[in-house]
């Protein structure tokens, strides 16, 4: 068997590679003397950032990254350690699955333990579901990535062709482009068959092949199947029109669509008209407070609704504790942002509202729903209000 080419420790490239919202952190110990006295060799400083439309690379200094995780700073200034930590966490805290790949030549158990210790520390901080350790055999990636610029170009080409798994000898690393999830919630008495509201027109022009698109007619557009007679169905429909008795069903339908389709990194857009705008605000509040359930926990959506809809009947502290338990145990992302707000928040990229209302039959009741008036998870909101609205009563 031919001898493995000895690589200069400064040209063996470690990169945090992100394509769409899938990323991997390549952590490799230098083989054949690259690790000495427990220290991991520096990488070139000029390769810190490199990006294009679909792919971003981030090279992290091994001293900075390893030491910032294990709190064993060897010769670096505090600002350098802080920058390295923030670059790593900036990706992970947004919910990107992170693969820590141990790539090495021949390292003994003590050196392997250094990577294992760093991974264990990250898992404790960020949650088990966010961190995955994979050990790849030496040679396959190290011999291919022999120079700093050549390594970048090679990795970028392989990522674009979906062949990173071949590069690292892995099967689990896949590329996923983030998708748009669009919720369109129409107003009271409105649906696609009764006329084209702004929300209905937005839904019409969406590219439904490339995006996950959801439309629901407004409150009062469906009769209650539990009614036993025509008169009963009419009465229940009128009650729904006046008091929004189907608010729970409408909100849960939209939220469950999120549960079934959302993956970390996806972009969420919400559009709503009238009480549909209110429903959009409520769904965003649920996602903000309790996250998005993992698909296998869809059946727990009723408990999510029960918790947020009964805030007015109990102390806000009880609601927050329950919300945090739901988010930590059952949601898509579970890393704690702070002691009192566990779980990576699910950002709403854009919310477009038309003539939003908040009356649901009981005066002031909607204001008891937390974060419907102010929601930090909504990155941008536009609210269109009619100056001279004409409606048939």
Buried b (16+ CB within 10 A) or exposed e, 182-198: bbbbbbbbbbbeeeebb
pLDDT of residue 355: 85
Instruction: Give the integer Cα–Cα distance in Å for 27 and 153.
Output: 19
β-pair type (267-273, 381-384): unpaired
The HSE-up count of residue 76 (CA atoms within 13 Å, CB side) is 24
Q: Which helix (H) or strand (E) holds 74?
A: none
| pLDDT band of 151, cuts 50, 70, 90 | very low
Higher pLDDT, 186 or 195: 186
Phi and psi angles of residue 242, each rounded to the nearest 5 degrees, phi first: -85, -40
| pLDDT band of 333, cuts 50, 70, 90 | low
Helix ranges restricted to H, the chain: 62-70, 78-92, 109-126, 148-160, 164-168, 198-205, 230-243, 247-261, 275-290, 301-309, 316-330
pLDDT of residue 369: 74
Residue spans of the domains in the chain: they are 16-168, 180-384
CA 54, 58, 61: angle at the middle one, nearest 5?
170
pLDDT of residue 303: 84
Of 302, 332, 369, the closest CA to residue 95 belongs to 332
Instruction: Give the integer Cα–Cα distance in Å for 170 and 156.
Output: 17
CB 74 within 8 A of CB 66: no
- Provide the 8-state DSSP code for 7: P
| pLDDT band of 280, cuts 50, 70, 90 | very high
- Mean pLDDT within 51-71: 32
pLDDT of residue 182: 96
Question: Could you report the per-residue pLDDT of 7-21, keeping only the tens digit for each?
Answer: 222 222 233 332 233
Residue 103 scores a pLDDT above 80? no
The predicted model scores a pTM of 0.52
Give percent of the chain with pLDDT exceeding 90.
11
Question: Could you report the per-residue pLDDT of 178-194, keeping only the tens digit for each?
Answer: 789 999 998 765 556 56
pLDDT of residue 248: 83
- Average pLDDT over the chain reads 58
- Mean pLDDT within 62-76: 36
> For residue 36, what are the contacts with CB-CB under 8 A and spacing of at least 6?
none
Q: Which of 61-75, 291-305, 325-339 has the highest mean pLDDT?
A: 291-305
Question: Could you report the per-residue pLDDT of 33-51, keeping only the tens digit for each?
Answer: 333 322 222 222 223 333 3
Q: Which helix (H) or strand (E) holds 216?
A: strand 212-216
């Amino acid at each position: 068997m031919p001898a493995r080419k000895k690589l200069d420790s400064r040209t063996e490239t470690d990169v945090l590679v992100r394509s769409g919202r899938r990323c991997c952190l390549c952590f490799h110990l230098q083989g054949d003397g690259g690790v000495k006295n427990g220290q991991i060799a520096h990488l070139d400083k000029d390769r810190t950032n490199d990006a294009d439309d679909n792919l971003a690379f981030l090279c992290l200094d091994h001293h900075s990254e390893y030491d910032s995780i294990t709190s064993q700073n060897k010769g670096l200034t505090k600002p350098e350690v802080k920058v390295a930590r923030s670059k790593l966490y900036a990706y992970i805290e947004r919910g990107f699955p992170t693969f820590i790949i141990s790539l090495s030549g021949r390292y003994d158990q003590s050196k392997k333990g250094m990577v294992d210790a760093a991974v264990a520390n990250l898992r404790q901080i960020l949650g088990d579901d966010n961190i995955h350790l994979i050990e790849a055999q030496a040679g396959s990636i190290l011999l291919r990535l022999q120079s700093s610029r050549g390594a970048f170009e090679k990795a970028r080409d392989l990522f674009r062709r979906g062949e990173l798994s071949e590069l690292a000898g892995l099967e689990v690393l896949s590329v996923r482009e983030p998708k748009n999830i669009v919720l369109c919630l129409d107003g009271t008495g409105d649906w696609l068959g009764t006329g084209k509201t702004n929300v209905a027109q937005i839904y019409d022009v969406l590219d439904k092949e490339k995006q996950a698109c959801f439309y629901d007619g407004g409150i009062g557009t469906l009769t209650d199947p539990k009614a036993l007679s025509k008169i009963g169905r009419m009465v229940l429909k009128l009650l729904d029109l006046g008091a929004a008795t189907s608010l729970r069903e409408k909100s849960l339908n939209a939220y469950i669509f999120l549960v079934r389709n959302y993956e970390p990194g996806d972009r969420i857009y919400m559009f709503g008209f009238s009480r549909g705008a209110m429903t959009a605000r409520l769904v965003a509040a649920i996602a903000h407070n309790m996250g998005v359930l993992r698909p296998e926990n869809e059946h727990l959506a009723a408990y999510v609704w029960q918790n947020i809809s009964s805030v007015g009947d109990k102390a806000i502290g009880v609601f927050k504790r329950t919300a945090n338990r739901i988010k930590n145990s059952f949601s898509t992302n579970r890393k704690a942002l702070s002691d009192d707000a566990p779980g990576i928040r699910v950002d709403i990229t854009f919310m477009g509202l038309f003539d939003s209302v908040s009356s649901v039959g009981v005066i002031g009741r909607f204001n008891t729903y937390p974060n419907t008036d102010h929601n930090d998870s909504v990155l941008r909101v536009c609210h269109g209000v009619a100056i001279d609205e004409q409606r048939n009563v």
